[in-house]
Structure 1
Amino acid sequence: MALLDDVKSELAAIDNETSAAKKAQAAAMIRFGGGLHLIQKHIVVEAQFDSLDAAKWLQDTIKDVFGHESDLIQVSRQTPNGTVQRYSVRVLRAGGALALQTGLIDRRKRPVRGLPADVVSGTPAQIKAAWRGAFLAHGELSDPGKASYLEIVCPGSEAALALVGTARRLGISVKARQVRSSERVTLRDPDAIERMLILLGAPRSAREWTGKRSDGESRGKANRLANFDDANMRRSAKAAVEASEKILKAFETLGDDVPENLRAAGQLRLDHRDASLEELGRLADPPVTKDAIAGRIRRLLLLAAKVEKQRAQNA
């Protein structure tokens, strides 16, 4: 979670956007962080975040850009993993005016179920800001070393489709999917995730995420190679033991009727059971290739099998 917190803090610190981009980000944060509620025929705007920096950004923007006061409330929630702190931004008196200014309700006072039309069809800066707002509200990012994903939990299918369409305008392909009755938009390609983080305005976190992911992949590769080497060693040891047993049986079968070169090769295997064929070849007198050692052991076993078969036929 530490890296995710860093990403959201970096995004919430951006303060050089245009008024239109700030409005797009605020609209997305409200839409994905909670939305609009009707209380005694009055519209109340409320959005909840896991990042205090994100909540403060929205509160400041509601005041500086839209001209309304809001309340910032800390909420504690019990989960199986312990107490989680959430931060709620609430606009009571001017909720209706703010909803109209952000485009979350249309001129007929009907709620917009996706994102406002002027955001979806807006400039690249507005689209990036909307994605940034959605991520600040309900974004998730995989820990380095695990399966890569960047995901945003959406309030509905219309909001998910709006993110898919706007991401396409940024040149990034994302997928909408349903998980346990919740709509989600997901990126899984690591390069696309890095690019999206940079587009949203978190280049430092993008570099950190990519670096840690690469380190994790390197460790995973090293572990796989180590496991592969261990498996090869186990197979080699098993093969050496089986070969030694066959050679002992061949010596018993042939007795003194073993050609000297074949006996020497077999005895080398018995004396050096953990050695490779190449090492046995170097130990031979005179040294020979591993193919020569393998060939002599093979001929020894074939000769013993032939003699054993003849004896069985004569019995």
Structure 2
Amino acid sequence: MSFSTDVKNELARVTDEQSCCHVAELAALMRMGGTMLISGHNTVGVNFTTENAAVARKALTLIKHGFGLATEVVVTRARRLKKANSYHVRVAPSPVVAKLLAELGIMRGEVINAGRDMGLLRKACCRRAYLRGAFLGGGSVSRPEGEYHLELVTGNHDFAKTLVRLLKSFGLPARMTDRKQDFVVYLKDGDAITSLLRIIGAHNALFAFENVRVVKDMRNQVNRLVNCETANLQKTVNAAVRQVESIRLVAARMGLDKLPPSLQEAAELRLAHQEATLQELVDLADGRVGKSGMNHRLRKLEQIARDLEGKE
């Protein structure tokens, strides 16, 4: 079962007490997965389609309990690809359905409202319910173990713009793009996705997302620290190898006894402790020189070696 399915199954069990929220949620559901059925008697019906049984039950409950309409559920099975079940919640054409569509804001008189539902979204609770319905009808979210990505897919451009404005009203950095015949409203920030899950009431999914996210962030932090430590260790090893080679060249060309006492001491310490870090060499010097002083002496030895090579 995908993470998106887990989220939808949880959201399908969320119930609002206020009837205005039922209307907002059903309006978004219908805009995502609903179609109008027009009969020969100038009456309309409704068909809502989904592949999630829990979402179908939620749509059925909102239609029957909120509006008292007679409904039927038809289950079909695809013959190709994944052969998943499709659930069709149907309301037969009747004059009463026109009143339903008008209350949902889908019809304004005899004109279809393209997707500007701001009249339904005056209250914060209705805005949350509307986003929940949009996710139930056409949303998906990737598992937190991978890249963070949540999207709402619709074929209605005006509805997609309404979703973007609504998400931004909650401070979420929503963006929109097109994909073939559809419009995709998406979030790619982990904080934004967890905020949306909280807003629409998917609290169990939120906790699961955050748990994985914490482990993932901790693992990434440990990897960064290990990589940094490895890089520093490699730099230390490279510097030590370079210094030892320079000191050996100086010893072979002119002899270490020709060096000033401070450089001779540094050269002997490095030759005796070839894997030691700079701080460890300072400690071995028993406080006679600091870290910057030891570094200066080793650099001076490298410079002498370069000069000797240049003369030759």
TM-score, normalised via structure 1 length: 0.82
In the comparison of the two structures, how many residue pairs are matched?
A: 306
- Going from structure 1 to structure 2, the CA distance change for 1:256 and 1:152 (only over 3 Å counts) comes to closer
Q: CA RMSD in A?
A: 3.1
Moved more, 134-143 or 249-258: 249-258
Unaligned runs of 5+ in 1: none
Amino-acid identity (%): 27
Structure 2 counterparts to residues 218-297 of structure 1, below 5 A: 218-255=218-255, 257-259=257-259, 261-284=262-285, 288-297=289-298
Q: Mean Cα displacement is larger for which, 204-213 or 150-159?
A: 204-213
Residues 29, 134 of structure 1: 8 Å contact kept: yes
Shift in Å, 1:244: 1.7
SS at match of 2:258: coil
What letter is aligned with 1:291? S
Q: Distance in 1 between matches of 2:12 and 2:205?
A: 13
Q: CA deviation at 1:102?
A: 3.1
Structure 1 227/84 Cα, relative in aligned 2: closer, same or farther at 3 Å? farther
User: Which residues of 2 match residues 1-315 of structure 1 at below 5 A?
Assistant: 2-38=2-38, 43-66=44-67, 67-76=69-78, 78-79=80-81, 83=82, 85-91=84-90, 93-94=92-93, 97-98=96-97, 100-103=99-102, 104-108=106-110, 110-116=111-117, 118-120=119-121, 122-170=122-170, 172=172, 174-255=174-255, 257-259=257-259, 261-284=262-285, 288-306=289-307
For 2:206 and 2:290, locate their aligned partners in 1 and report how far apart those are by CA, in whole Å. Answer: 53
Structure 1 position 249, deviation (Å): 1.1
Q: Distance in 1 between matches of 2:225 and 2:79?
A: 44
- Opposite residue 221 of structure 2, the aligned amino acid is K
CA deviation digits over 1:80-113, x for unaligned, max 9? xxx26353223152377435403323321x3332
Q: C-alpha separation between the residues in 1 aligned to 2:141 and 2:101?
A: 27
CA contact (8 A) 2:128 2:200 kept: yes
Is this contact kept in 1: 2:176–2:185, CA < 8 A? yes
Query: How many Å apart are 1:8 and its aligned residue?
Result: 1.4
The list of structure 1 runs, each at least 4 consecutive aligned residues, that deviate by more than 6 angstroms after superposition, is: 39-42
Q: Note closer, same or farther for the CA distance 1:267–1:99 as it changes in structure 2 (3 Å cut).
A: farther
> Contact (CA 8 Å) 2:3, 2:142: kept in 1 or not?
no
Deviates more, 1:267-276 or 1:220-229: 267-276
1:94 is paired with a residue whose SS is strand
Structure 2: which amino acid aligns with 1:52? Answer: A
- Report the alpha carbon displacement of residue 145 of structure 1 after superposing the two structures with TM: 4.3
